[in-house]
Amino acid sequence: MSYDVQAVRAQFPALSEGLAHFDGPGGTQVPAAVADAVGTAMRSAISNRHGDFASSARADGIVDDARAAAGDLLGADPRGIFFGQSMTANTYVLARALAKTWAVGDEVVVSRLDHDANVRPWVQAAESVGATVRWADIDPATCELPTEQYDALLTDRARLVAVTAASNATGTRPDVRGIADRAHAVGALVHVDGVHATPHLPVDVAALGADFYACSAYKWYGPHIAMTAADPALLETLHPDKLAPSTDDVPDRFELGTSGFAQLAGVTAAIDWIAAQGTGGSRRERMSDAMQQIAAHEQAVFDRLLAGLAARDDVQLLGTPASRTPTVAFTVEGRTPQQVAKQLAGSGVAVWAGNYYAVELMTRVGLEDRGGAVRAGVVCYTTDDEVDRLLGAL
């Protein structure tokens, strides 16, 4: 099956508004199937979970379906997947729960490649119990995260390593498996931020060596809701702060308050929509095929974007990562990133400017005080024409 980007675009009602969306790393638009699933859930009788009546059974079913779908997306056990308002919120829940198992002098390793949502919750949790924070650094020229530095960073006091599967600024894909192997060798757990990576590649949590893998559905054509996957046996050992009467079951005890059932219906629909772009037997197989097709399309469009930007003397690309998602950050001589973004917006091209919460990276490369950089990302519905529109408007 060959990838037909126009057929894909036709399924996204929002694209008819005409903007060229290079803001995918900030959040994608949704296909009609996802909007319909959310709307259908909201028009259906839904009550709180675990009741004897049909509307309660519907809520139970929606939650079970979403866990099963997320399991297929990530190659994870649905019994170890918890949902929450955002990846940031989920990571705070987890960091506070893990910190209860840490002692003074234990060590937590974070990286300067990461979005702050995979940094600050760990830094603050470490501070709350007197644990030490150690920093993995990037090479500011390439914006890569050298794996070998973890040999020196990791001691037998290391309890947790937090690392991203891909940078939401430069697209850099670090060697997560290499880092995870080193962490596991000293007995540390690994929390992988998959928010930026998940829309761009087939994910296999076990192959990555992730003890925890976090992602957000609104980055891959779904609603604004997030999930973290882990081995349910690992979650059994953790005790997040929660209300006294709420369930102590895993994974439910990691979900604070009443779930957003309509959003969860949208999660399942988004995963089914991605899987429907591929072929194969099981949903997991179709998902894997679809992600490879999407990645191949994105790469071709991204190559055009990168070549167009690189051809300009007045454009400076941020980093040269060997392995990356189709996302690039750049600056333009004589213009602030904010001026560039505004100019592009005037031409109907959506990009973000600033640090997009990759604040450690922007500080490390010396751009934090200069407005950061412009960021453009390619997703499943981006076209060559849109790339030309961006380059032309620039």
Rule CB under 6 A: say whether 21 interacts with ligand PLP.
no
Q: Which tokens sit at 176?
A: 């997560």
Rule CB under 6 A: say whether 86 interacts with ligand PLP.
yes
Rule CB under 6 A: say whether 226 interacts with ligand PLP.
yes
Per CB under 6 A, the list member of 77, 193, 272, 386 interacting with ligand PLP is 193
Instruction: State the residue for tokens 């198992």.
Output: 101
Q: Which is nearer to ligand PLP, 5 or 136 (CB)?
A: 136
Pairing relationship of beta strands 226-230 and 212-216 according to DSSP bridges: antiparallel
Site string for ligand PLP, 119-158 (x = CB under 6 A): ----------------------------------------
Rule CB under 6 A: say whether 263 interacts with ligand PLP.
no
Rule CB under 6 A: say whether 195 interacts with ligand PLP.
yes
Contact status, residue 270 vs residue 217, Cβ threshold 8 Å: yes
SS3 157: coil
Task: Report residue 73: phi and psi, to 5°.
Answer: -65, -40
Among the residue ranges 63-71, 81-89, 266-274, 318-326, the one whose residues contact ligand PLP (CB under 6 A): 81-89
Q: Which is nearer to ligand PLP, 98 or 117 (CB)?
A: 117
Rule CB under 6 A: say whether 115 interacts with ligand PLP.
yes
Q: How many CB atoms lie within 10 A of CB 233?
A: 11
Nearest CA to 360 among 128, 71, 140? 140
Rule CB under 6 A: say whether 87 interacts with ligand PLP.
yes
Q: Which is nearer to ligand PLP, 89 or 393 (CB)?
A: 89
Per CB under 6 A, the list member of 28, 88, 268, 331 interacting with ligand PLP is 88
Rule CB under 6 A: say whether 350 interacts with ligand PLP.
no
Contact status, residue 382 vs residue 24, Cβ threshold 8 Å: yes
Q: In whole angstroms, what is the distance from residue 177 CA to residue 29 CA?
A: 31
Rule CB under 6 A: say whether 196 interacts with ligand PLP.
yes
Q: Identify any residues that bridge with 332 across adjacent strands, giving them in sequence order.
A: 315
The radius of gyration of the chain's CA atoms, rounded to the nearest angstrom, is 21
Element spanning 289, H or E? helix 283-310
Residues that bind ligand PLP (CB under 6 A): 86-88, 115, 117-118, 164, 168, 193, 195-196, 216, 226
